[in-house]
Amino acid sequence: MGRLVDGITMILLMAMCGATVTGVLDRFVLGVGLAWTEEVSRFLLIWVSLLAAAIAVRERKHFVVDVVGSLWGGPRLAARLDAVIRLVCFLFLLGVVGYGLQLSIVFHPQRSPALGLPMSVVYAAVPVSGALMLGYLARDAVRDRRGPRPSGD
């Protein structure tokens, strides 16, 4: 699953760069501004940003404050704080997924001006990335609960 998300994110990033370069070249070299390039770039930026956030959660590279546990409480307090932070994030992401689904449904009839895409395509990035983050948080919670894996030497 991780490789699929990485691949999709990379393809979307390359498409965003291509649309941006096309828009710049058309506007400043040919003197013709294409409306769709800006819209494609904007929509892809939303998707790439939210998928990259999910990748950061998967890789545990997201912003974490661990000063309290590591300085004053040692590893036991740090582990407990990590569990509390993960629970708060999990609850927050449940709300993000639910609200993102509602937004996708509500804005489905609305169309983007240049492409005519249903806006639900853009808003779907919120519940998709939220669901990925929920899955990664749950996976990490299970792994941490089991403890470190024995080495396979």
Q: Which residues is 118 bridged to in the sheet?
A: 111
Distance CA 54, CA 61 (A): 10
Q: Which residues contact 94 (CB under 8 A, 6 or more apart)?
A: 134
> Model confidence over 99-139: pLDDT tens digits?
999 999 999 999 999 999 999 999 999 999 999 999 999 99
Global pTM reads: 0.85
73-105: pLDDT as tens digits: 677 777 788 888 889 999 999 999 999 999 999
